[in-house]
Amino acid sequence: MLWLVLSVVLLSSGCFAQSDDEEAAQIWVDQYNQDVQGVYFDYVSADWTYNTNITDHNSQLANEKAAESAAFDNQKAIEANNWDWPNFQNESLKREFSKIADMGYAALSDEDFNNMTKLNSNMTTIYSTATVCNKPGDTNGTCYPLDPDLEEVMSSSRDWDELVWAWEGWRNESGRKMPDTYEQFAELLNKAAVINGYADNGEYWRSWYESADFRQICENLWLELKPLYQQLHAYVRSKLRDIYSGHTFPGTGHIPAHILGNMWAQSWLALEQEMRPYPNKTGLDVTDELIKQGYNNTGLFLLAEDFFVSLGMDPMVDNFWENSMIEKPTDGREVVCHASAWDFYNGIDFRIKQCTRVNTEWLITTHHEMGHIEYFMEYKHQPVQFRDGANPGFHEAIGDVIALSVSTPNHMESIGLLPEGADDPEVDMNFLMSEALKKIAFIPFGYLIDQWRWDLFGEEFDRNNYNGAWWDVRCRYQGISPPVTRSASGDFDAGAKYHVPANTPYIRYFVSYVLQYQFHKAMCDAANYVGPYHRCDVYKSNEAGDLLRAMMETGASRPWPEILEQMTGSRNMTAQPLIDYFQPLMDWLIEENADETLGWDETGCPVGSIVP
């Protein structure tokens, strides 16, 4: 044993050539797991403080802790590579070492890393503190933040000019101020990727999916789902033309981006009443009922907790209720309102940060974020490098698969939020439409953001066409177009979406929208459900909960195809369960769109909408 300890010390100091002594390696990695939890706790704590109180001081502290964490990761990666870990016989140990040995952005020099974190912080601050002034008809000079004011305008207003004001103003006050910063930021991301042996940052991000042909896999999934999206797009476009009959729509088939009920046109759920197949029957918007019954923000969280507990999972820990930020502070602090779940790496501190409002959308979002927390709690016993989703899409899918049950008429009726009959087939169709306005509308958006970033990292276009390339993918995949002329070089509309300045990869959401329907089918089968899957509610099913829990507790300890097979019986992602779920709506849309021209011009945006 003395030799083993001495081996660890000498190897850690770089005194030996690579060693294949797995017993010594295990001692080293056990010590690593003790040390890293403290380092990550300090970093996450500082980042939380900044996100819940945006000040220059807190930004500086967060950047300092990020630099300390990066220096630790860098040193441990160097030490890990003192072992000949690729030839270890213990597959779990080999996998853990492979993750520790990946330096990530810590591979940069101290100067470059500090610069990168400052650039990232600057963009996040611009995004989180941006406001839009000069509202039409407003004479009091009020300026409006994104959350809740501008988002409320986008979801509730049907005034074309007011929507243009909010849509254009947000992009001018956020993204337009970032392109030069983002160019420098992207260069540093690429620099780190190259140091780590990747062609660029896009290849580095794709490596997390452990599939050499991951980009083609995503393209194939999109092509499977495209016909369903085209049918929904044609139906919504025809209804919007009636609503905005006094305004001109592009002859190319694109929908103006500002009238889809959401700042980014990523969800069309705000249009649910106008798009309802049977308008005289109830929809699934339970906002009025939530308010009527006196629900507050905490009440939404308790509903989410109750669902997970009904599956046999753990309730939220005391720290969660004490430390989470579940509503926008009223003390004047600037905060990052974007909903997110946080793991503090000590096994007891898990939090959610979101500016909750009492409505249907936030009820679903709360279930989604709490799904992340349940995932954190299930794999907290794993080594730190395995405390993650099997792939990034798994984490996003967990909360959403629960939401597929929560959203059903049966479930809303069972918890007293939908008093009318849930067995009506017309109510069923209204439900499927509301789900499609959330899920199907999102699919091309979830796909295109990282298509654009991957090409940017790969230098397929330069700084002078950041915005031109952005609108190229939005016009091509989503079939939407800007309502006002945008500059290919002067504007940076991608920066108006949180995940771009925050440097959060986005393809995970596209992947999660496929995986969640595979998970849903597996859980419904485990619960012995018989019937159409869009009506399945696994609430109170211990069998479904056991299946989900077994998948979650493995974290990232094994390759994701193995974990997917354990859950669903298949090693491959497939869109078929999603297609089957929406088949009744697809059949209805095909009939409804009989006189509509499907699709849009995919070669580019309408002439004149993008200028140099």
The enclosing H or E element of 131 equals strand 131-132
254 is in an annotated binding site: no
Tokens for 519, please give them: 């998970």
Task: Count Cβ atoms within 10 A of the Cβ of residue 444 and give its class: 0-12 exposed, 13-18 middle, 19 or more buried.
Answer: buried
Please state, in angstroms and rounded to a whole number, the distance separating the CA atoms of residues 65 and 43: 5
Query: Is 209 labelled as part of a ligand binding site?
Result: yes
Which of the residues 369, 374, 378, 435 is marked catalytic?
Answer: 369
β-sheet bridge partners, residue 132: 144
Distance, in Å, from the CA atom of 262 to the CA atom of 437, rounded to the nearest integer, reads 11
Q: Rounded to whole angstroms, how far apart are CA atoms 96 and 100?
A: 6
* Backbone φ/ψ region at 308: left (φ over 0), alpha (ψ -120 to 50), beta: alpha
Residues 6+ apart with CB under 8 A from 462: none
Q: Is 499 part of the annotated catalytic residue set?
A: yes
Q: Is 531 left (phi over 0), alpha (psi -120 to 50) or beta?
A: left
Enclosing H/E stretch for 350:
strand 350-353
Rounded Cα distance between 507 and 451, Å, is 8
Catalytic residue among 289, 499, 553, 592: 499
Give CA–CA dist 518/32, Å, rounded. Answer: 36
Q: Give the burial class of 246: count Cβ atoms within 10 A of its Cβ; 0-12 exposed, 13-18 middle, 19 or more buried.
A: exposed
List phi, psi (to 5°) of 481.
-145, 155
Question: Is 215 among the annotated ligand-binding positions?
Answer: no
Cα–Cα separations (whole angstroms), residue 444 to 154, 438, 465? 20, 12, 21
Is 591 annotated to bind ligand?
Answer: no
State yes or no: 396 annotated in a binding site.
yes
Question: Strands 340-343, 350-353: parallel, antiparallel or unpaired by DSSP?
Answer: antiparallel
Q: Which residues are annotated as a binding site for Zn(2+)?
A: 368, 372, 396
Question: Known catalytic residues?
Answer: 369, 499
Q: Which residues are annotated as a binding site for chloride?
A: 209, 508
Q: Which residues are annotated as a binding site?
A: 209, 368, 372, 396, 508
